[in-house]
Amino acid sequence: MSENHDVLVVSPALPHQMEKLAQEYTLHRYDKSDDREALLESVADKVRLVMTTAGVGVSVELMDKLPKLEVITSFGVGYDSIDIAACTERGIRVTNTPDVLNDDVADTAIMLMLATLRRLVVGDQWARSGNWSKNGAMPLTTTLNRKKVGIVGLGRIGKAIASRAEPFGVELGYFGRSQQDDVPYPYFEDLLKLADWADVLVLACPGGEATRNLIDMNVLRALGPTGYVVNIARGTVVDEPALITALRDGIIAGAGLDVFHNEPHMNPSFADFENVVIYPHHASGTVETRNAMGQLVVDNLVAFFAGKPLITPVN
């Protein structure tokens, strides 16, 4: 098999896709190696492509050890775990898997919104525990209808969330880097003003340094004691200690969270709150979408080795 078809697997696609790739390419399993330094020494002069996932990424230190590296294919839409500027400086192309996960992630945002406001998990436990039969109806909850929903980041996923939220009779507004002329929702230049206006703040912006701790205590206080946060973006977008304090002290009413700091080692404080619905960073976690994401990683890999244009380049 040609040296030009060597792939370093930092984090894999789905098993059936990896099996097919192994039939056509030489896969060096960095993710499974007991001696990664020795593996890198043996393949550094051959590897032109690295396969990874958004959660794992590729460090600059690893790039430096792969002088022939040309392409990083990443499973996931976010790429904050890959230094794009460093890649561009080195002439390394990066691909991700956009669009194919928009629908499932947007569905999850709506699911978390409804589950949080209507206290679905509390209701489930109310019935399962016998409280319903012993103590009668659970306490009343909050409707989504007629609420003001502020979306932070009106990109492809943000717009998909907005289109799903509209039938619930909500009023929509958004905050982002710039106003978009092709949407009918009001634009807020100031995040604090959006938070003050909104009943529900939905986070759908990219991760990375530009948005780190964007949702801080000032934003949470502006959202207020009847407001809710839904995060399907990145854990880093939220000042997590501030969020825990806000939930504990009634500064906000509740949160629906798919993403956290230090995943998968979520801060255990979140598990103590009845007003929080927790989902384990699984917004795109359906068989159909994960298959499509994995296939896009594979298709980018195949295109590269065939000398064709990358399908979903980031840089």
126-to-115, 129, 141 alpha-carbon distances in Å: 14, 6, 13
Catalytic residue among 19, 189, 263, 288: 263
The phi and psi torsions of 230 (rounded to 5 degrees) equal -125, 125
Catalytic residue among 28, 93, 119, 234: 234
Task: Supply the pLDDT for residue 50.
Answer: 97
The phi and psi torsions of 148 (rounded to 5 degrees) equal -95, 120
Sign of the Cα pseudo-torsion (191, 197, 200, 204, in order)? negative
Rounded distance, CA 259 to CA 235, Å?
5
Q: Is 166 known to be catalytic?
A: no
Catalytic residue among 36, 221, 261, 281: 281
Strand partners, 51: 9, 73
Task: Supply the pLDDT for residue 4.
Answer: 63
The Cα angle at residue 87 between residues 82 and 88, in degrees rounded to 5: 130
pLDDT tens for the 315 residues of the chain, in order: 444 699 999 999 899 999 999 999 999 999 999 999 999 999 999 999 999 998 899 999 999 999 999 999 999 988 889 999 999 999 999 999 999 999 999 999 999 999 999 999 999 999 999 999 999 999 999 999 999 999 999 999 999 999 999 999 999 999 999 999 999 999 999 999 999 999 999 999 999 899 999 999 999 999 999 999 999 999 999 999 999 999 999 999 999 999 999 999 999 999 999 999 999 999 999 999 999 999 999 999 999 999 999 999 999
Sign of the Cα pseudo-torsion (78, 118, 121, 194, in order)? positive
Sign of the Cα pseudo-torsion (37, 41, 44, 50, in order)? negative
Task: Supply the pLDDT for residue 2.
Answer: 47
Task: Supply the pLDDT for residue 55.
Answer: 86
Q: Is 189 known to be catalytic?
A: no
Count the helix, strand and coil residues of the chain and give each as a percent rounded to the nearest 5: 40, 15, 40
pTM of the model: 0.91
**Extended strands (E) in the chain:** 6-9, 26-28, 49-53, 71-75, 93-95, 148-152, 171-175, 200-203, 228-231, 254-257, 276-278
Q: Is 281 known to be catalytic?
A: yes
